Structures are given as C-alpha cells and as structure tokens.
Structure 1
Amino acid sequence: MKWPRDRGTDVSALKIKTCFFEKDPSVSLYRRAFAEVAGTLLLVFCVVSAGIAIQRVTSSHVATLAVLALVTGGALCGLVVAFGDASGGHFNPLITVLQWISGDRDIRCTMAYVIGQCAGGVVGALLANVLLAGERPATYPPTDVLHLMAAEAVTTAGLMIVIFGCMRGQRVMTGPFAVAAWLTAALLAFPACYMNPAIALSATWAAGVVALPVSRALLLILAQIAGAAGALAVISIAYPRAKPAEPDSQVAEA
C-alpha cells in the first residue's frame, strides 16, 4: 500500500482543515520539530522574563498575577498563529501525546515534538535568567499540595478540552484565541497553575516568581497528565470520531 512520505498527521492527510495540525505533514520532521523548539523557547522566555521583571517593579501580588496571565495568553496566541501552519503550534507535550493516543500522529513525530518542546523550554528559561540576571528564590512559599494538584488537573483538563474541541470542531482560526482566553482566565483564577509539562520542567531551571522546586514540578506534571486523560474522555464523548472512509482504488494500490 502506498502512503505519503511522512504520515505525521492523519487529519492533514485527509485534507480536513483544522487547527493544531501542520499545514503540510510532508515537510521534513526536523523542520516541523524545530518550529516546536523555537515556539516553546519563546513562550517560556516571555513567561520567565515577565516574572522576573514584574517582581522588580512591584510587590503587588495582584499585579504580578495579571501580568503573567496576560503575557502567557498573548505570547501563546501569537506563537500559535506564527508557527501553527509549520508544526501545528503545540508547544505543550500534552497536546502532542493526546494526538498520538487519538491516532492522529505517529510515534516518531510525537517523540521529536516532545523532546523539542522540553529542550526549547529549558533553553528559554536559562536565556531569560541570563539576560535579566534573575535569581532563583532561596525558599518557596508553602502550598497545600492536594489543592495545588487538583487545580492543576482541572485547569489542564479545561485547556485540553478547549484545544481539542476547536480541533475536532474544525475551528481553523479560532483555536489560538480560544486557548489564550482560557489560559488568561485560568491563570487569574488559579495563579499557581502551569498546565504544560514543558513549562513545569523549565520552571525548575527558571528564576523569579515562576520558579519551581523539582519535587513540586513532578507533582504538577502528574496532575497535568490526569487532567489531560480526563479531557480526552470528555472530548471523545462530545466529538466521537467518525469511521475512516475506505481508501479508493488508486491509494490502495500496492
């Protein structure tokens, strides 16, 4: 059976226009993964830089939350619009892995994206530390771990529902703005949430108010995975996948 050279996204192969899938999956995987590296790097750089900068000009907790929420939502929206056609504009391993679980992305592409996202995030955090001469906090504020993990799971589930709802509802251009709106609202309501394993991992290298100890980052990532699993169940009910059409005789030729 003859298949396209790179079947990174079955949805693109079926020529269904939707967000969070690359426009042309036949483009080299290295180029598409590079877009994920660059996008995640810039996203984390903006978030960490904003945290360091706002901490230097004000001690207001409300101002800090507002700035981080707006910076995160705005940066992500712009980066998804900029890189969406190239790679799908994920910048979040949970999106990539859920696409793989759903059968929309192969394992090679999934691994390249996830590794690139995590590496890009760490470099973005270190770059912000160097350019703004940020320092990691000596101590971290005490937090109720169970409540923190519950909030992380709920906000992550909401983010994945927004993303996959836009994707399966074929909302081509509304996805980035819907995601930015959810992130801004969620971060204002639950400011300790990260909703992204790449950012949580990067925060263990970051300075300023977004920094995390490794133990807390690992707990947040576990909560994010749980939230993503719950979101996939909700989306599977709300948007059941149609059975794939039988390939025509030309595609099915050996």
Structure 2
Amino acid sequence: MIRRVSAELLGSALLAALVVGSGIAAQRLSPSDTGLQLLENAFATALGLPVLILIFGPLSGAHFNPVVSLVDSASGLRSWRDTAAYIPAQIVGCILGAMLANLMFGDPAVSISTTDRLTPAHFLAEIVATAGLILVIFVLARTGRANLTPAAVGAYIGAAYFFTSSASFANPAITIGRMFSDTFAGIAPGSAPGFIAAQLIGAALGFLLVRWFYPARRIPTG
C-alpha cells in the first residue's frame, strides 16, 4: 500500500509539474499569442502524460486523478481503501508539483492564481471533458484493451485542450494544484469549486455511459 500511494503522490506531482511548467514555458516563449501558448501546453501534456502512465501504471494504476480512482472503485476494479488513500496523495502531489514548476522557472514557490475561469460554458465543458476521459479509460479496460490507455489518454487530453472551452482540467487534484501558480495554467480559488463540481458530475455521467454501452466485460475476438 505504501508503495502504491507513493507512486500516486510522485506521479501526481510530476503531472502537475508537467502541466504547470509547460504552461509557464509557453507563456514566456509566446507572450503575445494565446493560441500558441495553448498549443505548446497541450503538446507537452499529450506527450508527457502517457510516459507517466507507463512508469507508474504497474505500481498504482497511474490514476493521478480522484475521479478516476472513484470510478475505479465504483466499478469494482480497486478497493475503496485504496481510493481513500490515493485521493489525499493525488491532491498533495499536485500541489507540490505546481510549486516545483514555479521554482523551476524562478518564480516564488506559491503564487495564488488570479485567473477566473468559471462560466456556464466552462462548467459544461468540464462535464464533457471529464465524462470523455472516463469513457476512454474504462471502455478500454472493459474491452480488454487497457494496453492502449497511455496513448489514448494522452491523445484525448491533448485534443480536449482545444475542443473544450475549459481546456479540459478533468481532474480535481490538478485543479487544486493549479490554484498555487499565478501563471498560464492557473485557476483562481474562486473558480476551482465549480470546476471540481463539474468534474464529479462528468465522472458520474461517464461511469453511467460505460455501464450502459458495456454492461459486461468484453474481450475483442479479432
């Protein structure tokens, strides 16, 4: 258990450092072009996230995300005891990772974000982004194609940066972590609860859709 929780903490920290750090780099490399900043941030995340999943997947499942852990347990794939231990580790890891990213770019370790993001459109986008992420992960698991998850999750998140107005946070832990960096990837504390509520709704919707389309585990026959 200690090894699995440690893997979730470190993996979440590296994920937050990846997302926030690439956001800071994009902001500095392309200070006058928001679209290019988003592309750079998305590209780095889409490449780095599969690597983290491959590293930590054999240890903990490489969730790095409370809603993934919750759906994993709701699906009977992991004990609720694991999830209860994972979620605090994921949150702490994402906060530490955001602080690490700040320090790597010469900023104060903590700078509370002032970027207000919550609008009705963003709320809807986070529901869609999170439901889609749950579909990707658990449809692959239920159809015997979990080996494709790292690449599929990276591709989905990279695309969702652009097809959702919220830039697809889709993760309560990373949402909390991003509050601690007043940079391109940050989110103001006042916007975070709405994002997290939308992510929980999206996770529940995604879980229901997985159970509707794939009520039983199916193995491809070729």
| Aligned 1:18-33 pairs, distance under 5 A | 29-33=1-5
Query: Of 44, 49, 60, which aligns to 2:21?
Result: 49
Residue of structure 1 in register with 2:54 after alignment: 81
* CA separation of 1:240 and 1:138: change in aligned 2, threshold 3 A: closer
Q: Is the 8 A contact 1:134 1:208 kept in 2?
A: no
CA distance in 2, matches of 1:145, 1:212: 13
| Aligned 1:145-160 pairs, distance under 5 A | 145-160=119-134
Residue of structure 2 in register with 1:190 after alignment: 164
Q: Which amino acid aligns with 2:130?
A: T
Query: Of 176, 183, 194, which aligns to 1:219?
Result: 194
Shift in Å, 1:103? 2.2
Q: Is the 8 A contact 1:129 1:207 kept in 2?
A: no
Shift in Å, 1:95? 0.7
| Aligned 1:62-81 pairs, distance under 5 A | 62-81=35-54
Shift in Å, 1:107? 2.0
Q: Deviations over 1:36-69 (max 9, x none)?
A: 1111110110111111111112121111111111
Q: Is the 8 A contact 1:50 1:67 kept in 2?
A: yes
Residue of structure 1 in register with 2:220 after alignment: none
Query: Of 166, 180, 195, which aligns to 2:154?
Result: 180
CA distance in 2, matches of 1:122, 1:169: 34
- Give the TM-score, by structure 2 length: 0.90
CA distance in 2, matches of 1:172, 1:144: 33
Q: Is the 8 A contact 1:200 1:221 kept in 2?
A: yes
Q: Is the 8 A contact 1:48 1:210 kept in 2?
A: yes
Residue of structure 2 in register with 1:209 after alignment: 184
Residue of structure 2 in register with 1:100 after alignment: 73
Q: Is the 8 A contact 2:26 2:37 kept in 1?
A: yes
Give the ranges of 4+ consecutive aligned residues of structure 1 lying more than 6 Å apart after TM superposition: none
Question: What SS is found at the alignment partner of 2:147?
Answer: coil
Q: Which amino acid aligns with 2:27?
A: Q
1:124 aligns with 2:80: no
1:161 aligns with 2:135: yes
- Give the TM-score, by structure 1 length: 0.79
CA distance in 2, matches of 1:64, 1:137: 20
Shift in Å, 1:139? 4.4
Shift in Å, 1:214? 1.1
Identity %: 35
Q: Which amino acid aligns with 2:215?
A: P
CA distance in 1, matches of 2:201, 2:113: 30
Q: Which amino acid aligns with 1:112?
A: A
Shift in Å, 1:137? 7.7
Higher helix share: 2
Q: Is the 8 A contact 1:41 1:121 kept in 2?
A: yes
Q: Which runs of 5+ in 1 are unaligned?
A: 1-28, 243-254
Question: What SS is found at the alignment partner of 2:187?
Answer: coil
Q: Number of residue pairs matched? A: 213
Q: Which runs of 5+ in 2 are unaligned?
A: 218-222
* CA separation of 1:137 and 1:214: change in aligned 2, threshold 3 A: closer
Residue of structure 1 in register with 2:210 after alignment: 235
**What do you get for the CA RMSD once the two structures are aligned?**
1.7
Question: What SS is found at the alignment partner of 2:98?
Answer: helix
CA distance in 2, matches of 1:84, 1:44: 17
Q: Deviations over 1:139-173 (max 9, x none)?
A: 435x5611110011001111110011111111132
Q: Deviations over 1:189-243 (max 9, x none)?
A: 225330111110101112311111112011000000001111111100111136x
